[in-house]
A and B are shown apart, each in its own frame.
Chain A
């Protein structure tokens, strides 16, 4: 039974004609400020310290592996003919996909006037930034001479005398992911300005006040400022929405513009975007469900929020499943031998275990979210979310590795195996991600206090004046 329900904090039932409360308990503006600020003001909990040490260790291991890679060469990975794109690109696409949920929550749900996004968008946006950081390391280090990665930029070079090759989707990626990182950073930071001002005003320590003071740029809460701020927020949301679609579309172009069977299929762009949102929300839930308990934020991140996120996972997971079906059907319909083979090979070839893991985790497990209990009981949510993440990693694995290991020329076929460096980097990237996220939780406002207060204000307004 949901803990939330036993505590009388259930707002998942919404009668048509009414709107469920999104901020629960007897919250006031001040209680919201208190709940969120105390996370950064009180000494960290033991869970946080242990979590940080573990993830910092993993992140350090990640750094060491990167140094080893750069020193020794790309050969320490399992990439080899014909699977020249191995785990690095799988990890890259995985992490970029995870980042998309943050932007979706911030931008797209904002455009759709979904007020329940206000208590989760800050952490989701932070997650986006950190996911993009993790994602960007892989293309950065996989070029071999990582210190020359700036050659990708279109600057007039007296040394190279050439320009970047703009017809390549890999270069589109450079622009897309850097734009995405930059815009997400701006969006996240801009959202934090009022809350950082709150931290500033609550600080007792001179250095804290100075630090948050500088970061909050002197925000005073002026309505004139709010007016322009809201306009900028809305414009950034309107910009970020197509941006998030375009980023994973361009990532999908890495594969779809080629002629490799299993890669060259026109549905990749929306299918990848749906998959990205799918995995991103799963990661948001994986982080948010424990966080709300550890930081006692159940009144702000309510069961309804979890419920809605699970429904989005269900919807996007179903879209992904439909895309699988469409690809399979068209592979048969088109009667292209290599394309047909690619799909049979995925299911019954040497990587059958990866394929069926993917199907189980991506198509079957989110279907559990049809049942309300699975959407509202926290541990179940976490378990299913983790399965979804595993499934989405395997999806990228299946796409990249199976198509490459068995493409047009049978004499080139080979079985790809990851090396210990591949494994280390995958696990290490999680370490980096969690390190950054835990640091964020400790020092930054984890919930958008201003927006939640606005939500509360709307809620109070409606409850006082009745349904209008």
Chain B
């Protein structure tokens, strides 16, 4: 210890026995002008702040600030985490679910406010402060028991040791003591250091080890503390189970289960069959059909013996009222489920087919073109189409489990619209479209006539023969065919074709067709020989180009059909093109026309007939067309 050293005087204190005497003394001290004073009491004494002149604290403001911070953190954290950074819908609540965010916000406000109050108080009080000169006196221990102390610090400007001592005595203080700085050793006992070190070690090192473990990889297999928690014995989907006779872990629906929204009182709606009529014709089949509605795995209908099965009375008309909305829906579903095989235009040249051709698959059968005459509504009722969609046919699987019943009927309606789009008559178009079409047709015809005239003249000059008449014949001829061929045409180009028939009845598609068709045709006419290939490429333009070529005469969109078909296949088509171009036009054209016509379009065949005859000039193009078609058709 440092007894030899002069200990610095810290202050003087006096002891009091009761609150009243202390308060009176405090007032005297305050009135005497001392400011660096303090009282030490075992409990807070009411009125002592005023008595000593202690100013109020700014702690409430600290708490307010912390509280507002807490609120801000709470609301911003939740809004950001659940509304912006990773928004997901929980029980239909909005992303910014402010009412739901209030509880946590409130709690964080309180928590941070409490921290502000507690730690703020400690900070303002400069606690913890383990060493305090006033503790040096053993008498001072009673400050926390039952005695009151009034203390005047030596650093007070008015401090004067004798004066202070006298004052304290005058105002009733007893046991007046000098307080000296505590010069005792500040060495922390070894045991405390060791304990602190151990605690720090235990607090930090295991956490670091865990953190390190979490961010490093290990070559060792994972250690499973709870093996059955990590590898749950519960069965997953598509697994086997020995508990059930059929060996499946997944259990089928209880017979008779109807999914929500999947039941309607009208069984015709579910089967596409007029069940009353079927019941009249073949009772057994009707019963069986109804049963399969309920129990998908119902056994096959019993054989009906030697008699031929009665013809199924399919529903002739779509039970859902056809509207634009229904067609849109049907188009959406068609493009999702059907177009991959059947193509967006329904001609059977979907992406799967393209891929099969690309890999030269020998097992692939091209899906049916939906535009065959045999699939038209009069011979292939809507109900039958519905049944095919639901249950499949030949190589096509059934889509009943993927497309809802209502949507299947929408697809049926859309297919009919697709068919109509390739088979519309000029009368099907609205009046203004018709007029538009006629006008364009006239324009194009005139241009074609001019081009044919120019061609003829060139040919004339080159060959010296008169091909004018042919060209002129070609001119009037187109006037007829456009009328017939007015309808389908453009279906070929994937998207544009698909977009065109889809949105509206095919009638609208037709007018759209002629326009691009007309344009493309002009292009086509402009560069006869080179045309076919490039003309077929670009989708919208390709349509009309190939389409128009075979029939400059037949011109407007409709005639574009044969061309569209090949043109619709962007990739495969280029290759075949050069070949057909070399072929003589007339023969192959009509000859090849029917082939593709057999599948995709019944209409184009007759329409394209006149083309080769009337189109000497455009033969190469026409050749390109038909030649492509057989190529595509294969």
B-binding residues in A (CB < 8 A): 28-30, 33, 70-71, 73, 144-145, 154, 159, 161-169, 171-172, 175-176, 179, 182-183, 186-187, 190, 194, 197-198, 200-202, 210, 213-214, 217-232, 235-236, 239-240, 242-243, 246, 250, 253, 449-451, 453-454, 457-458, 461
Contact = CB atoms under 8 A, between A and B. Distances in A.
Given A29-B146, A246-B106, 12 more contacts: A30-B146, A167-B101, A214-B128, A217-B122, A223-B41, A223-B48, A223-B54, A229-B121, A231-B57, A231-B59, A458-B46, A461-B19
Interface centre among B100, B115, B117, B124, by most chain A C-beta atoms within 10 angstroms, is B117
A221 B143 contact: yes
A454 B103 contact: no
B129 interface: yes
B114 A186 contact: yes
A227 B125 CA distance: 10
B462 to A, nearest CB: 74
A231 to B, nearest CB: 5
12 contacts: A70-B226, A161-B86, A169-B103, A179-B114, A186-B118, A218-B129, A223-B54, A227-B44, A243-B110, A454-B43, A457-B19, A458-B46
Contact of B103 (A187, A217, A218, A246): A246
Contacts of A223: 38-41, 44-45, 48-49, 52, 54
A145 B85 CA distance: 27
A250 B229 contact: no
A198 B140 CA distance: 11
A202 B141 contact: yes
Interface stretch (B131-139, B299-307, B323-331): B131-139
B571 interface: no
B114 A175 contact: no
A450 B49 CA distance: 18
A68 to B, nearest CB: 12
A445 B86 CA distance: 49
B127 interface: yes
A62 to B, nearest CB: 21
Best-buried of A224, A230, A457 by chain B (most CB within 10 Å): A224
Contacts of A172: 103-104, 107
Nearest to B130: A218
B145 interface: yes
Contacts of B63: 235, 239
B169 interface: no
A283 B97 CA distance: 38
Contacts of A239: 63, 110, 113-114, 117
A389 B121 CA distance: 37
A183 B129 CA distance: 23
Given A71-B226, A224-B38, A457-B43, A219 B54 contact: no
Contacts of A449: 42-43
A145 B224 CA distance: 13
Contact of B144 (A71, A163, A171, A198): A198
B395 interface: no
Contact of B104 (A33, A171, A214): A171
A30 B127 contact: no
A159 B19 contact: no
Contacts of A235: 59-60, 63, 113, 117
B258 to A, nearest CB: 16
A450 B44 CA distance: 8
The 6 A-B residue pairs with the shortest CB-CB distance in the complex, in nearest-first order = A29-B146, A217-B128, A232-B121, A163-B81, A201-B141, A172-B103
B39 A167 contact: no
Contacts of B43: 194, 226, 449-451, 453-454, 457
B93 interface: yes
Given A162-B86, A223-B52, A175 B104 contact: yes
Nearest to B132: A220
B145 A166 contact: no
Contact of B77 (A30, A154, A210): A154
Main SS at interface, chain A: helix
B114 A221 contact: no
Contacts of B128: 214, 217-218
Contact of A228 (B46, B100, B121): B121
B422 interface: no
B117 A168 contact: no
B130 A183 contact: no
A145 B229 contact: yes
B49 A227 contact: yes
Given A145-B229, A223-B49, A167 B93 contact: yes
B22 to A, nearest CB: 10
Contact of A33 (B57, B85, B130, B146): B146
B312 interface: no
B78 interface: yes
Contacts of B118: 186, 190, 232, 236
A210 B193 CA distance: 13
Contacts of B81: 154, 163-164, 166
A217 B111 contact: no
Contacts of A457: 19, 43, 45-46
Contacts of A461: 19-20
A232 B146 contact: no
A246 B144 contact: no
Contacts of B93: 167
Contacts of A458: 46
Contacts of B142: 201
Contact of B111 (A159, A182, A225): A182
A186 B116 CA distance: 11
Contacts of B187: none
B451 interface: no
Contacts of B104: 166, 171-172, 175
Interface in B18-48: 19-20, 38-46, 48
B42 A198 contact: yes
A236 B145 contact: no
B214 interface: yes
Nearest to B83: A166
A250 B127 contact: no
B209 interface: no
B129 A227 contact: no
Given A197-B144, A217-B128, A221-B40, A228 B86 contact: no
A144 B146 contact: no
Contacts of A219: 127, 144
Contacts of B228: 73
B333 interface: no
A218 B127 contact: yes
B46 to A, nearest CB: 8
B120 interface: yes
Contact of A231 (B100, B110, B121, B131): B121
Contacts of B101: 166-167
A172 B97 CA distance: 14
B259 interface: no
B82 interface: yes
Contact of A232 (B20, B59, B135, B141): B59
B243 interface: no
Contacts of B122: 217
B108 interface: yes
Interface in B203-233: 214, 226, 228-229
B86 A225 contact: no
Contacts of B56: 227, 231
Contacts of A165: 82, 90
Contacts of B229: 73, 144-145
Contacts of B127: 217-219, 225
Interface string B69-93: 0000000011001100110001101
